[in-house]
Amino acid sequence: MVVDQVPAVAGSEENDVVSGTSTGEGASEADLPEMGSDSASEPTGEPQDKVATSASAAALPPEELNEERAEALRESVAQAEAVVAQARVGEDVDARVRAFLKDRLVEEPGSRVAMRELVAASLFYALREARAVSAQTLVDRRTEALQAVEAALQSQREAASQVDQEAAERLERSQRAQEAARLAVEQTRERERQERDAQIRQVLAREREIAEELLAISEQEGEQIRSIVEERRQSEATFSERRVEVEEGMTRPDGELAGVVRQTLMYRRGARDDVKRTVQGYRSAERQVANLKPRLDEARRELEQLIQEVGREPSTELATRRLALAKLQVELAEQRLQIAQDVRDARQARNEVNLQRRAFFDESLEAMFPRLGAEARAMMLSPRSDSAWRDALEGVRVGVLLTVDTLEERWKQISDPGTMLTSVAFWGWVMGVFWRVIAILIALWFAREYGPRAVQWGLSQLLVRRALRKAAGGLIKASQVLRALIVPAVLYLAATHMTDYLVGALPELAYARWVIDAVTIYVIVMRVVKTLALPRGEEAGTASGFPSAAAVAQAHTLDALAQGGLVEESRARRLVRSVRVVLSFWLLSHYVPLTVWELTGPSVIWWLADRVFWVALVVLVYTVLWWWRDDIAQGFERLAGERLPRATVIVREHRNRPYGVLLIGLASIYVAGAELVRWVRAYVVETELSRQFSNFIFRKKIEIQRREGGVAEVPEAAQSTVPERYRAFFVDRPLFDEAFRVERRGVADAIAARRETWMKVRRKGSMAIVGEAGLGKTSELVDVVSAWPAAHGPVQYATLAQKISGEPAALEFIAQLFHLPEVPTCREEAVEWLRRTPPRTIVLDDCHHLFLRHIGGFRAVDLFLDVVHITDDHHFWVLVFNRFAWSYLNRVRARKHYFGLVHEVAPWSEQQIQQLVRSRDAKVDLPISFTDLVVAHQSGEFSYEVIKTANGYFRLLHEFSQGNPRVALTFWLRSLRMDASGSLQVGLFSRPTTAVQQSLTDQYLFALAAIVQHGSLNAQQVARITNSDRGFCETAINFLYESDILEVCQRQGRATLSTLYFRAVLRQLRDANFLYE
C-alpha cells in the first residue's frame, strides 16, 4: 500500500528533528508579497492555514490529513499562478514602454531623460521577468507535489477500499452465521423443553451446545475482524506519519541527517517487531488451519457413516436427531475452519504490509547511507555500540525468519503437487521452460559448431589488410580469446534469460543472478588469462606447472629445455594459479558482504564482513607478491636498471625480507606502468592511425599558414636552386661503406639466426628476403657480404641483371653461378653438380627476374627453386624477391614451403627516415631551416616551434613515403629551396600531378601492373604478359616515360616505376584491384 507524505505534527519533539522546509521553496515565495497580498503570510514556504491546523492534524486519520495537504497545495498553486499571470501582464506593459522609449531615443539620440527612463524600464522588466520565472518554478514544483499527493491518495483509497470491502464481506458473513446460530439455539432449547424421551433430550442438548458454540465462534470472528480493521487503521495512521517524517527528513542537508537516521532506526525496529509478530501469527494461523482440516474430514466421515446406517430419511425421531447432530458437527467444523482461514488470510495480508513497511525503512537508510557523516554512521556501524549490534542481530533474525518462511512455503507447494498438476497456468509455465531449454541447446550447438569458424573467417578477413598483418600476432591471440569466450558468453546469456523467466514464478531466484555473474566473471577471466599466458593447446594442461615426461624426453640438455619454452611455461602456469587465487578471493570479498547487506542492510555485521575480507585480500596480494618477488625484481632491473640503479640494488638485496614485499609492490607498479607505456606507445601512439591524425593536424597548420600568406609548397622552379654538391649525397644507388648509412640489422640478424640453426640441423638452409623496391635490401645484403666471417665459409653475392625464361636458361644461370665446367641438361644433373662443389653461402638479389607472367613463364623459377630446395642441406641460399612478385608467385602456387624462413623487410621508422636525411645534411655546410613551416610564434619560444615543425614535417614525410627511404629522399629534395641568405629552406614538398595518371585506361594500368609485379620489363615482355600488341606497349612505355611515371634503362630498354610516382601508382593499382598483396 502506498501512503504519501503528510505534514509533520507541530509541537512534537521527534518531528522537530526531521521536519522542515526546503530552501528552494522559501526563497521562491519570498518574492510573492510584493506581487500579491494573498501570499504575504507565507514566508516559510508553507500556507499559513496549514501551519495553523497542524496541531489538530494528529487527531485526523491519514486520508483526511493528506486531503488537507492536497487542498493546501491546490491553494498555493492557484496563488502562484495568479502571481505568474500578473507578472506576465506587467511584462507586456513594460515591453510597450520600452518600445516607446527606444523610438524616442531614435528621434532624440542625445536625450538623457529618455536614456535614464529606458534603463529604469529595462531594470523593472528584468526584475519582473525574474519574479515571473521564480513564481513559475514554484508553480511547477507545487504542481508536481500535488500530483504525487493525489496519486498517493488514489492508491491509498483503492487499497483501503479493497481491504474494507473484504472486511465488510467477512463481517456480513459473520453476522449471518450469528443469526443462524441464535435461531438454532432457540429452536434446540424449545425442542429440548418439549421432548420427553431421555435419549432424544440428550441428543438435543448436544445440538444446543454445538449451536451455542457456533454462536460464540461467530461472535468471536466478528470481534476479530473489527479488531483487525481497527488495528489496520491505527497502523496506517502511524506509518503515514512516520513515512512523511522520514521522507521530509531525507531532504535535509548531509550534515543534518543524524537525527533522521536515529529516528528511522527506531521506526525500523518497530517495523521488524511487527514483521516477527505477524510472521509468527501467520504461522500459528496456518498451523491451526492444518489442525482443523482433519477434524472437518473426520466430521464428514462420521456423517457419511451415519447416513449409511440410518439412511438420508430416517424413520425414527432419534435417528433424525442424530443425523441433525452430525450435520451440525460438520457445520461447526466448517465454520471453525473458515474462521481460521479468514484469520490466516488477514494475518498474511498484514504481514505483507509490514514487510513493505520494513522494506521502506531499509531502503530509506540505504539511500541516506552514502550521505551520512561520522556520527550517523557510528549509530549503525560502530562495533562498540550496543544498539548497532542489536539492530544487526535483529536484522539477521528477521532475515533468517523470512528465509525459513519462504522455504516452508515452497516446500508446501512441492509437497502438494495436486493443485499444480491440474493448473493450466502451471503447464503453460512448464512449456515456456521447455521451449527455452530447447532454444538454449540449439544456441549452444551453433556456438560450438559455427562460432570458431566465424572467428577464423573474421581473422582471415582482417589479415588480408596489409596494415593489420603487422599486428598478426595480436590479432591471432585476440581471435583465440574470442573463440574461448563464445560458449561462456552464450551460456551466460542463456542463464540470465532463463533466470529472468523463472523469477516471474519464483522471485527468490533473483539472487541466482549473483551466482551466475560470479561464475561468469571467474570463467571469462580465467579463460582469457589461460589463452594469453599458456601456449596454444596447453590451456587445459596439468596444474602442476611442470612439463610432461614426453616433453622432457624430447629435450636433451637444459639449454634445449630453456629454448623449448618450458621455463616460460612454468611461469605462465604460476601466473594462472595466482590469478585464480586472487580472483576467487576477490569474488568472495565482493559477494559475501553484499549478501550480508541484503540480509541486514548497512549494519555492523556488514561493516565487519567487508573489512575482514578486504584485509584478507590485502594479505593474499602480499602472499602473491611474495611468490613473484624474484620475477618482479628481474623485470624491474631490466626496465629500470639504467635509469634507477640505486633502486634496482635496493629491490634486489631486500626482496627476500618480510618488508621487501612492499618494495616488490612498488617495483611491480613501476613494471606494470612501464609495460603499459610500452603497449600504449606501440599500439596507440606509434600506430598508423595516430600518425595519420598527427599529420592531419600538421597539414591543417600549413593550410592556416597558406591563408596567412606564407609559403606552403616549394614550386618546381625553386627546387632547381638546390646545389648539385648537395644533391650528390642523395643519389639513388646501393650504399657500400658510406659514413652516412643508417644502421639496420633486420636482414643481417635474420640471415645469421637462420644460418646458425641450419648449421645445427643441416636442413632447410634457404631463406627468402621479401620487400618492396627502395627499402634498402641491396644495401643491407652488401653490408652482410662485406662483413661475412671467414669461419662461416665462402660467400657469393650475385644479381640477376636480366629476365630468365625457360629451364635451359635457368640451368645455364646455375652453371654460371657455380662456375661449372658444363651446363647441366636437367634438374637432377644440376643437383649432382652442386653437391660436388664445396659448401658456400649464395646471396642472390632480384630473384623476381626468374619468371614471367605467361604460360610457361614459371618453368625457370620452379626448376631453380627445386634445385635450391634439394641442395639447401649442402649450400646456404639467400634469395631476394620484390614484394609484389613474391605475393603473385605464392598466389598462383604456394612456394613458401621451399624455404626455411621468409623474412619480410620492414619499412623504415620515422626516426630512421629522419636520420637518413640528417646524416647527409651533416656532410654539407649548408644550413637547413624550417622557419617557412612555423605557424605560431605567440609563445615566444621560436626555437621550440621550429623543432616541433621539423618533427611534424618528418612525420608527414614518413607517412607519405610509408617508410620507403628511396621515396623519402626524393621528396625531401622536392621540399628544398635556396633562400637569399644561402640557407636551404624546407617547405611542404610538392606532390606530382595526377592528371595524366587518372586519365590512364585499363590497358595502360595492366601494363603498369605487369611492370610493378616483375620489377622491370621491356616492351616485348609487357606485350607477352598482357597479351597486347607490341607497338602499343612501346607507345605506352614511351608515353609513361615522358609523363615521369616510368624510368627506362636506355642500355637494356627495360622500364621500372619511377620514384616520383611510386606511391601514387601503387595506390591507384591497389584501389583498382590490379595488384595483389
Q: Given this model, what pLDDT does residue 252 score?
A: 81
Q: Which is nearest to 1077 in space by CA: 770, 846, 825, 778?
A: 770
| CA 616 – CA 623 distance, rounded (Å) | 10
User: Which position has the higher pLDDT, 935 or 1064?
Assistant: 1064
What is the average per-residue pLDDT within 373-398?
Answer: 82
pLDDT band at 63 (very low <50, low <70, confident <90, very high): very low
Q: Which is nearest to 812 in space by CA: 822, 801, 802?
A: 822
In this predicted structure, the answer to whether residue 997 has a pLDDT above a threshold of 80 is no
pLDDT band at 16 (very low <50, low <70, confident <90, very high): very low
pLDDT band at 681 (very low <50, low <70, confident <90, very high): low
Q: Which domains does the chain have, with CATH numbers?
A: 1-249 (no CATH), 252-415 (no CATH), 423-539 (no CATH), 746-903 (3.40.50.300), 907-990 (no CATH), 995-1071 (1.10.10.10)
Q: Given this model, what pLDDT does residue 629 score?
A: 75
pLDDT tens digits, residue range 649-663? 777 777 777 766 677
SS3 at position 1053? coil
| CA 172 – CA 997 distance, rounded (Å) | 101
In this predicted structure, the answer to whether residue 795 has a pLDDT above a threshold of 80 is yes
Q: Given this model, what pLDDT does residue 711 score?
A: 46
Q: Strands across the sheet with 841-845, in order?
A: 795-799, 841-845, 876-882, 766-771, 901-904
What is the average per-residue pLDDT within 821-846?
Answer: 90
Give the list of residues 6+ apart from residue 483 with CB closer than 8 angstroms, or none.
Answer: 451, 452, 455
pLDDT band at 703 (very low <50, low <70, confident <90, very high): low
Which region among 160-164, 344-348, 387-391, 435-439 has the lowest average model confidence (pLDDT)?
Answer: 160-164
Q: Which is nearest to 849 in space by CA: 1013, 734, 1051, 1062?
A: 1013
In this predicted structure, the answer to whether residue 57 has a pLDDT above a threshold of 50 is no
| CA 1042 – CA 1045 distance, rounded (Å) | 8
Q: Is the pTM of this model over 0.75?
A: no
| CA 333 – CA 687 distance, rounded (Å) | 87
Give the list of residues 6+ apart from residue 146 with CB closer than 8 angstroms, or none.
Answer: 70, 73, 74, 77
Report the chain's mean pLDDT, rounded to a whole number: 75
DSSP 665-677: HHHHHHHHHHHHH
Q: Which of 104-118, 359-373, 619-633 has the highest mean pLDDT?
A: 359-373
In this predicted structure, the answer to whether residue 132 has a pLDDT above a threshold of 90 is no
In this predicted structure, the answer to whether residue 335 has a pLDDT above a threshold of 90 is no
Q: Which of 457-471, 703-717, 902-916 has the highest mean pLDDT?
A: 902-916
Cα dist from 777 to 318, 356, 770, 843, 895, whole Å = 127, 80, 9, 12, 21
C-alpha cell at 872: 639447401
pLDDT tens digits, residue range 873-903? 899 999 999 888 888 888 777 776 778 888 9
In this predicted structure, the answer to whether residue 160 has a pLDDT above a threshold of 80 is no
| CA 413 – CA 656 distance, rounded (Å) | 62
pLDDT tens digits, residue range 951-966? 777 888 888 888 888 8
Residue at 367: amino acid letter: A
pLDDT band at 159 (very low <50, low <70, confident <90, very high): low
pLDDT tens digits, residue range 1015-1065? 888 888 888 888 888 888 888 888 888 888 888 887 778 888 888 888 888
Taking a C-beta distance cutoff of 8 angstroms, is the pair 609, 593 a contact? Answer: yes
pLDDT above 90 as % of the chain: 5
| CA 141 – CA 76 distance, rounded (Å) | 11
Q: Given this model, what pLDDT does residue 162 score?
A: 54
| CA 700 – CA 197 distance, rounded (Å) | 123
What is the average per-residue pLDDT within 150-167?
Answer: 61
Provide the CB-side half-sphere exposure for 837 (13 A, CA). Answer: 24
Q: Which residue has the cell 646501393?
A: 734
Taking a C-beta distance cutoff of 8 angstroms, is the pair 323, 307 a contact? Answer: yes
pLDDT above 70 as % of the chain: 76
Q: Given this model, what pLDDT does residue 51 score?
A: 32
| CA 822 – CA 834 distance, rounded (Å) | 12
User: For residue 843, what are the β-bridge partners?
Assistant: 797, 878
Taking a C-beta distance cutoff of 8 angstroms, is the pair 1056, 1011 a contact? Answer: yes
In this predicted structure, the answer to whether residue 969 has a pLDDT above a threshold of 60 is yes
pLDDT band at 31 (very low <50, low <70, confident <90, very high): very low
Which region among 191-205, 581-595, 748-762, 821-835 has the lowest average model confidence (pLDDT)?
Answer: 191-205
Q: Given this model, what pLDDT does residue 876 score?
A: 92
pLDDT band at 271 (very low <50, low <70, confident <90, very high): confident
Which region among 21-30, 466-475, 747-756, 832-841 has the lowest average model confidence (pLDDT)?
Answer: 21-30
Q: Given this model, what pLDDT does residue 10 score?
A: 31
The CA-based dihedral angle spanning residues 519, 524, 527, 530, taken in that order and rounded to the nearest 10 degrees? -100
| CA 1076 – CA 1058 distance, rounded (Å) | 20
pLDDT tens digits, residue range 707-718? 555 444 555 555
Question: Which residue pairs, CB below 8 angstroms and at least 24 apart, start in 979-984?
Answer: 979/929, 982/926, 982/927, 983/926, 983/927, 983/928, 983/929, 984/722, 984/726, 984/926, 984/927, 984/928, 984/929
Q: Given this model, what pLDDT does residue 357 score?
A: 82
For 848-1004, list the strands marked E by DSSP.
Answer: 876-882, 901-904, 928-929, 976-978, 984-986
Q: Given this model, what pLDDT does residue 13 score?
A: 33
